[in-house]
Structure 1
Amino acid sequence: MIRLFKHYVPYAVLLLGAIDFLLLIGAAEAGWSLRLWQLGGSVDPDVNRLPNLLAFAATLQVAMVGVGVYSVAALQSLRFAIARLLVAVALGILALSLIFFLFPPVSFWRSSLFYAMWLGLFALVVARILLKETLGGERLKRRVLVLGVGARAARIEALAASRGAAFQVVGFVGMNDGASAVKESVNRDDIQSLPDHLLALNASEVVLALEERRNALPLNDLLRIKTTGVSIHDFSSFLERETGRVDLDSLNPSWLIFSDGFSAGRRLSSAAKRGFDILVSSLLLVIFGPVILVTAAIVKLESRGPAFYRQRRVGLYGQLFDVIKLRSMREDAEIGGKAVWAQKDDPRVTRVGRFIRKTRIDELPQAWSVLKGEMSFVGPRPERPQFVADLEARLPYYAERHVVKPGITGWAQINYPYGASIEDAREKLEFDLYYAKNYSPFLDVLILLQTARVVLWPEGAGAR
């Protein structure tokens, strides 16, 4: 993997993304040239067309990121990839129509755009057919040697065997740290030189997965490995990189304190984030104001109770605020005001409520909370005080998710399906901690783009 703005991206995704961009540039040029040839004009390359070509390629690739064309499932399944490519190209063409209207100098002739669209789609599919074995094969995977043979090593072994893993384990070395929990391993006492063993296995990195590190760190071995140029990672950092979440089972305060993350140098990024929130929330309220009002009238007609409801939530640094949403449940959904976890296919949801949840229309009034600065578009979902009090008592480090402003969408929402239990809250907390620790504008953009995938292919109802 390569780290971009504190977020890790697999080599296979980077390679495929670069190839796709070049193919889209070529398809745009071919579509333009084909139309010029039909009109009898010169088809020589012209640098003045470069802005048009870049607009075409960039817009379609943004759409591809948004609908999950570079997801693990798309890399593993050609059928899945083609289905997502069709949706991405359709959305990309719609977006290009708006861009061409707002910025005419980068526009295409309609016939050129038609040719470029089909040529691009054909090229993208062919590329995936030709690269299928390479993208899913061992060639692009990092070769990892694990020091340790206990439960932690077994977790790495299972992760390496999972679908879409970006690494392969080339060996386990027992460091006399307990009974072995992996299939095959070599004891450190049977290895004359650990650096030579690394070279023989062609390992590119080492993961320290000891069950007990106190007075057990093999300092001499680690020093020799480091001087050979092979990178060394501790267990928690390795899992964070490979899974996009902070592993609570192996987490300890010292790792949070000394590891990279929670950077104080966020003032410029935070200012840009706030500016984006103000601009987009204002536009949303203006553009979708009629939709909100019409939906509110329909909600009011379908069932008793107010069209909107306010609910107290926990925000930045534990401060309380009221979130506003369109009501999607019956008025008596919570008797006596007692907080109740929402469920998948919750019977309390009305017919209109089911539709506005799937389309996320019920979330639109939250733009007002974003405009006021109580929320952001991207961040951990704000929870109710009753739930927060319970979760803080039962889940370690739950309070740390409140070091960033809550959001309408977030890293947990795009990576974890619907769930309403303590275990689900624990899973989501691991993603929320990853976001809080590694926040950057790049990660925000990635989350916003991939929210389109969640809207188009809902994996569960949102929290009430």
Structure 2
Amino acid sequence: MNERFTVQLILGSLVALGLPILVVLLLQDSGLTQTNFANSIVAAAAAFGSGLVLSRRLRVYPGVVQVATELPIFIGTYSLAAIAVLVLRVDYSNTYLLSSFVLAVAITLLFASAFVRGRLPRYAVVPIGNATRLKHIRWAEFVPMDSPRLKLEGRVDGVVADLRADLPPEWEQALADVALQGCPVYHFKQLEEALTGKVDIEHLSENSLGSLIPNRAFADIKSIVDRLCALAVLPLVALPCALVALAIKLDSPGPVFFRQSRIGRGGAPFTVIKFRSMQCSQQRGDERIASVTQDHDGRITRVGAFIRRYRIDEVPQLINVLRGEMSWIGPRPEAHALAEWYEAELPFYAYRHIVRPGITGWAQVNQGHVADLTSVHDKLRYDFYYIKNFSLWLDVVIILRTVRIVLGGFGVK
């Protein structure tokens, strides 16, 4: 991985920072001076380097498609570089920066396609204990080792073993030899989490529960940033929200907003606010059943189907973010009746309330909307993965995938 990154950095720098010089000279930019030329190179180098590092950092998370993340990453880093030179009021070349951005995206996508296309991670598996259960993962190749002395042909990204199993001495020696040769050795649960983005919750040990305690400092900073971002976004969405409210009123009788009691951080109930997307019903029945949205649910209105597809119905939850009841990113808050049911049926379910619930989250971008008990159990494993890997980097991955999902309508009911 380090050698690949070095090659990408060198080749990318030559293309993204060197070729724009030729572009500027060929276009004969009349405003070009030695000062703004130097400033432009520094700004582009900072944007390209930070974009490359960020892209590499995000690739450690499951489901990150490099080709799909490069464009928004470089749009962000080059935009920040342009803002920086404007704020600092230094001279720069628009032609150079724009050329560098286009070439940076092009060379990075070409590099990603060359390495990613048709390539699955390949692991050698010690056939003792639970390591063999990884074979159900389709986006990796697992090759069983028939003997501790077996030398696998071709590329191997690591060796997988159940390190808690009673391994014979010859297998222990083989794993030590492999590690000394520089080949990674993974415990099967460690690799399973890395490849699936889920944390097994069937038999959490004391150590596992300890690793699920989120970073308190990051949680506090995240809460402040959440509120500041909500304050900045509210004026921008005020007019569109007014138009949505008018459409809801004209489409069907009832209130504009839907309010429901949900479970928040620490198990405390709060009232979530959304745009109403369903018909108002006076019928009384099982609250748990009423809280579940079925496929092709007949209660969804015409306007409701549209705003649900593009997640516009979630926008009023900015109020919940401002109140500190929700975050932009976190496990989705469940209705009170559903949360009580899940907690009674699923082990450790209440532990997901250790962080603030979010408008979007790791389970949502991987699984979409679910309600049946089996799917919720799987969703809980995604939630635990998010809590265990609670960080800025994972939040960035979720934001990028949320944008792609909103445009594609994934998981809508």
Which residue matches 2:294? 343
Instruction: State the shift of 1:103 in Å.
Output: 3.6
Which residue matches 2:331? 380
Which residue matches 1:156? 134
2:98 matched to 1:127? Answer: no
The letter for the 1-side match of 2:142 is V
Render the CA deviation track for 1:259-291: whole Å, top value 9, x for unaligned: 772246x23212211111121111122322222
Instruction: State the shift of 1:204 in Å.
Output: 7.2
2-structure distance, mates of 1:276, 1:364 = 17
Render the CA deviation track for 1:87-108: whole Å, top value 9, x for unaligned: 7599669957984796475786
Contact 2:70–2:108 (8 Å) recurs in 1: no
Render the CA deviation track for 1:320-364: whole Å, top value 9, x for unaligned: 000011111112297557333113443322222222222222111
The letter for the 2-side match of 1:123 is I
Alignment partner of 2:196 out of 238, 243, 250: 243
Alignment TM-score, normalising by the size of structure 2: 0.79
Name the SS for the 2:211 alignment partner: coil
Which residue matches 1:414? 365
2-structure distance, mates of 1:333, 1:422 = 27
Alignment partner of 1:295 out of 244, 250, 256: 244
Instruction: State the shift of 1:369 in Å.
Output: 0.8
Instruction: State the shift of 1:221 in Å.
Output: 5.6
1-structure distance, mates of 2:111, 2:73 = 16
Name the SS for the 1:348 alignment partner: coil
Instruction: State the shift of 1:72 in Å.
Output: 5.9
Q: 1:100/1:109 Cα in 2 relative to 1: closer, same or farther (>3 Å)?
A: farther
2:10 matched to 1:26? Answer: no
Contact 1:170–1:201 (8 Å) recurs in 2: no
Which residue matches 2:24? 35
2:396 matched to 1:445? Answer: yes
Gaps of 5+ in 1: 1-10, 76-80, 173-185
Q: How many residues align?
A: 403
- Matching of residues 102-121 of structure 1 within 5 Å: 103=87, 105=89, 109-121=93-105
Which residue matches 1:282? 231
Name the SS for the 1:330 alignment partner: coil
Alignment TM-score, normalising by the size of structure 1: 0.71
Q: 1:241/1:263 Cα in 2 relative to 1: closer, same or farther (>3 Å)?
A: same
Q: 1:74/1:447 Cα in 2 relative to 1: closer, same or farther (>3 Å)?
A: closer
Q: 1:283/1:169 Cα in 2 relative to 1: closer, same or farther (>3 Å)?
A: same
Name the SS for the 2:125 alignment partner: strand
Contact 2:330–2:361 (8 Å) recurs in 1: yes
Which residue matches 1:328? 277
1-structure distance, mates of 2:151, 2:173 = 11
Alignment partner of 1:261 out of 187, 191, 211: 211
Identity of aligned residues (%): 31
2-structure distance, mates of 1:260, 1:142 = 31
Instruction: State the shift of 1:387 in Å.
Output: 0.8
Contact 1:281–1:371 (8 Å) recurs in 2: yes
Q: 1:276/1:34 Cα in 2 relative to 1: closer, same or farther (>3 Å)?
A: same
The letter for the 2-side match of 1:371 is L
| CA RMSD, Structure 1 to Structure 2 (Å) | 4.3
Name the SS for the 1:288 alignment partner: helix
Name the SS for the 2:40 alignment partner: helix
Q: 1:60/1:269 Cα in 2 relative to 1: closer, same or farther (>3 Å)?
A: closer
Alignment partner of 1:368 out of 313, 319, 342: 319
Contact 1:246–1:431 (8 Å) recurs in 2: yes
The letter for the 1-side match of 2:128 is G
Name the SS for the 1:365 alignment partner: helix
- Matching of residues 93-108 of structure 1 within 5 Å: 99=83, 103=87, 105=89
